[in-house]
Amino acid sequence: MNLAKNRRLVKAIGILSIVLFLLVSSSFFFTYSVFNKQLKRQLVDTNMELLGQLDHKLKLALKNIDKSAIQLLSSDEIVRFYEHELNEQEARNNAFRISNQITNAIQSMDNVFSIDIYSYDKQRLVSGNILTEQDLSGEFQWISGFEQFDGFAEWLSTRKVMLNRSTYPIYRNVVTLVRTYPLIHSPGARKGAIALNLKEDALFSLIRSTAENDEGQTFVIDDEGVVVLHADKSKPGKDISEFPYIGRILESGEESGHFVAEVEQTASSVFYVRDDYTGWQIVRVVPEAQFTRQLTLFRNAVAVLAAVLFVVATVSAAAIGRWTFKPVNRFVQSMRSHLTASPKHGVRKYNDEFHYLESTVQDILEDREQLHKQVVESKPLIKWRLMSELLSDRRINPAVLQPYMDMLNVRLDGDRFVAMSIEFDNRGEIASPRDLKLYAYALCNVAEELMNAESRGIAAELDNGKCAVVMMFADGDDGERHFMRAVAVADLLKKFVQEYFGRTITIGIGDPAERPDDIHVSYRQAQEALRYKLVMGGNSIITREDISTDPSPQFYRLFAMIDGIIASVKLPDADKMRTQVRRWFDSIAENGVPAEMIMQLVVQCLMKTATAAAEIGVEAEGVFPEQYLVEMLNQYEQLEQLEQFTVGALDSFIERIKGKRSSRERNDVIDRAMLYIQDNYMRSDLSLNLLASEFHISVSHLSKLFKEQRECNFIDCLMEIRMNHAKERLAGTDDKIRDIAEQVGYSNVNSFVRIFKKMTGFTPTEYRERHGSQR
């Protein structure tokens, strides 16, 4: 009998071991397949997000350099180089000032290696040199190529620039930005160009990976497959379009993507993102061995864990089989008696082992209830995840989103989709971030109730109290009618919040999208409309129709008003400055200028004011943070707040200029230099170099003293003195204009006439006719 019982026990333990093995194996394969797919998707998303951040970082640096080129082209000296006919002395002086500007620009921008300025009319560089055929076919080859270029700016791929012209020349890799002069012109009216040569290694440092044990490589190619930036400094400038994976990137025509290909005989994952500013492709190649390293570690860990669980389960079953077999048998018999049609009479008494098993089953049921409760509480997070996928510019995968949509009872089978972006006004007045979060949560619930009464939709809280709403329309009406229905729902929501929450909100609405893949476009338009809150104010509904679509003419007119504001700061005249700023912001409000353009105008005003103050010797440090100026301006929600900030910053400059002028000490060198100029202004060779030699002082220091003491440079002082003497001679004598020009130091009468008209507004003949009665 005992032998038969032992055999049944061994058989039961064997069956239990097989069942455990099947359970552990199936759990292993199921867990590995699910988490492997999810982990691989996360790795792909991480690499694509990394490329997106690198693209944004590189784009900001290149745009900043482009803005510097535009500012450099607008300087008086460069305009004089392109527009005016200068004599040899004037050309030398002008080239000297331009060289100083170029030097200052290169020192202020770490990425810039050199700057070349060329005039197509004069066929000369800024130095006055005429380029040889060797130069035009060498490092200045961009001149002939850009002359017929159909556009205003061009980014050239990496090329080599010679550092010395010795027997063994040294070259440096540069990326070149070429921008036209004038900035905007009709075909055939191009007069010249400026080329900023950027350090290739400095630009590559913006995209270089700093992660340890990163075996991947990141580089940049242009639209023809030529390497622009690369860690291997021998590769920039080379055409690698013949490589299959590069050709696949160039032919795809997509903004971003990912695929697996052979790269240098190694299976690798290739990620790429197209930069919409330069047209370049940022490519990242990661060997599959590195890419799947985490997947391999996860698979091995799960396999080891499964093996350990199986061994422990089998050993435990064999060790305590005698102790557990009988209670389990009694439990099965009891369950069978309850399920049979004729249960046995009487109540069976169970021992401690059965009660332990029963309590374990009870714990499992309680855990199930707890799990269900956690799923219900995590629905806001699931909704946020679903909304993030809908609003991202990645292609929507229904298979990935289906579990989230089933849990939230959301469908994407509509004909039209309209996205909204909502934020509370005056968020700084809300007591705490927790209160702001509660307001946003309640706002999303109200929005969903209003949408469900009209059609269908989903609303979710994003960051900093902002909410995103997507309305879905399943009927066959046109897009304009759907858009009107969305505006009506937004108006109801705005009134509800104002009545029951006691607060106001601003809603931006995008255009209707016809596919789920285009929802992110509608949401981006809604965000652009919401930023227009700076002009229209809070408690409003803003659509794409409210945004100005052709801001270029008004931008240049508003940009021109900055010069008058800067002139008032330099006087310094605080009252006049405030009046001009008030008029400036009134024009901004009347013309409906977009928020992005307002930020750009304010930044330009403050930067140009800082430059003008620096020329006087006043530093801008402490007035505003130059590196985070845009972030500071974005925190203002109303145009009046932005105006107050601008006036405050300009007031600080005025106070500093007043303090500088009141504490400035006179320098006897400048006094003696001015006497020397008064006595020798008629000399045609009078120059800053001659003065420096006469008073035994360096040219740079003498130039700095002129700017500090006279608030102008030497050439302006000299021209003013010469023009004053010329006006006396024109009004008091009958000398010929040519003779008067020579008497005041001008050997070229044309130069004298041009300078005289620019400073007085009259030609010498007109001035003599008006003031001849003084003789």
492: pLDDT strictly greater than 80 = yes
Name, in order, each residue with C-beta under 8 angstroms of 751's C-beta and a sequence gap of 6 or more. 86, 87, 90
Residue 319: predicted pLDDT:
63
332: pLDDT strictly greater than 50 = no
Phi, psi angles (nearest 5°) of residue 58: -65, -40
548: pLDDT strictly greater than 80 = no
Residue 168's pLDDT band (boundaries 50, 70, 90)?
low
Residue 273: predicted pLDDT:
92
The class (CATH top level) of 668-774 is: mainly alpha
Instruction: Report the alpha-carbon distance of residue 534 to residue 641 in Å, rounded.
Output: 9
Do residues 93 and 715 touch, judged by C-beta distance below 8 A? Answer: yes
**If we measure between CA atoms, which residue out of 166, 203, 196 comes closest to residue 178?**
196
Angle between helices 639-663 and 595-616 (to 10 degrees): 0
Residue 354: predicted pLDDT:
46
Instruction: Report the alpha-carbon distance of residue 454 to residue 484 in Å, rounded.
Output: 12
343: pLDDT strictly greater than 50 = no
The CA–CA distances, whole Å, from 118 to 111, 115, 185 equal: 21, 10, 17
634-643 pLDDT, tens digit per residue, is 777 788 888 8
Q: Where are the beta strands (DSSP E) in 327-439?
A: 416-424
Q: E strand or H helix at 382, and its extent?
A: helix 379-391
DSSP string, 469-508: EEEEE-S---HHHHHHHHHHHHHHHHHHIIIIIS--EEEE
Residue 220: predicted pLDDT:
92
Residue 336: predicted pLDDT:
46
Residue 513 DSSP class? B
Q: Among all chains, which residue has been given the structure tokens 């556009």?
A: 151
Residue 156: predicted pLDDT:
86
Residue 331's pLDDT band (boundaries 50, 70, 90)?
low
Do residues 38 and 294 touch, judged by C-beta distance below 8 A? Answer: no
Average pLDDT value for residue range 158-168 = 71
More confident of the two residues 267 and 507: 507
DSSP string, 270-333: EEEEE-TTT--EEEEEEEHHHHTHHHHHHHHHHHHHHHHHHHHHHHHHHHSHHHHHHHHHHHHH
**Domain extent listing, the chain:** 1-309, 379-546, 552-663, 668-774
Residue 136: predicted pLDDT:
59
What is the b/e burial string over 304-320, where b = at least 16 CB atoms within 10 angstroms of the residue's CB? eebeeebeebbeebeee
Name, in order, each residue with C-beta under 8 angstroms of 39's C-beta and a sequence gap of 6 or more. 294, 295, 298
The superfamily (CATH) of domain 379-546 is: Reverse transcriptase/Diguanylate cyclase domain (3.30.70.270)
398-407 pLDDT, tens digit per residue, is 666 667 666 6
Residue 665's pLDDT band (boundaries 50, 70, 90)?
very low
Largest CA distance in the chain: 149
**If we measure between CA atoms, which residue out of 349, 340, 526 comes closest to residue 422?**
526
Do residues 667 and 705 touch, judged by C-beta distance below 8 A? Answer: yes
708-735 pLDDT, tens digit per residue, is 777 778 888 889 899 999 998 998 888 8
Residue 507's pLDDT band (boundaries 50, 70, 90)?
very high
The CA–CA distances, whole Å, from 650 to 182, 577, 608, 620, 683 equal: 30, 8, 11, 10, 42
219-264 pLDDT, tens digit per residue, is 999 888 899 888 888 888 888 888 888 888 888 878 889 888 888 7
667-683 pLDDT, tens digit per residue, is 578 888 888 988 898 88
Residue 740's pLDDT band (boundaries 50, 70, 90)?
very high
Burial, 561: exposed, middle or buried (Cβ in 10 Å; 0-12, 13-18, 19+)? middle
The superfamily (CATH) of domain 1-309 is: PAS domain (3.30.450.20)
**If we measure between CA atoms, which residue out of 710, 714, 719 comes closest to residue 681?**
719
102-123 pLDDT, tens digit per residue, is 888 888 888 888 888 888 887 8
Residue 272: predicted pLDDT:
92
Residue 210: predicted pLDDT:
64
More confident of the two residues 193 and 591: 193
Residue 235: predicted pLDDT:
84
Cis previous bond, 182, omega within 30: yes
438: pLDDT strictly greater than 70 = yes
Residue 739: predicted pLDDT:
92
Average pLDDT value for residue range 466-495 = 82
209: pLDDT strictly greater than 80 = no
Phi, psi angles (nearest 5°) of residue 697: -145, 150
490: pLDDT strictly greater than 80 = yes
Total number of residues shown for the chain: 775
263-315 pLDDT, tens digit per residue, is 878 888 899 999 888 888 899 888 877 766 666 766 677 777 777 776 776 66
Residue 344: predicted pLDDT:
43
370-397 pLDDT, tens digit per residue, is 766 666 666 677 777 777 777 887 776 6
Q: In the chain, pLDDT over 90 holds for what percent of residues?
A: 3
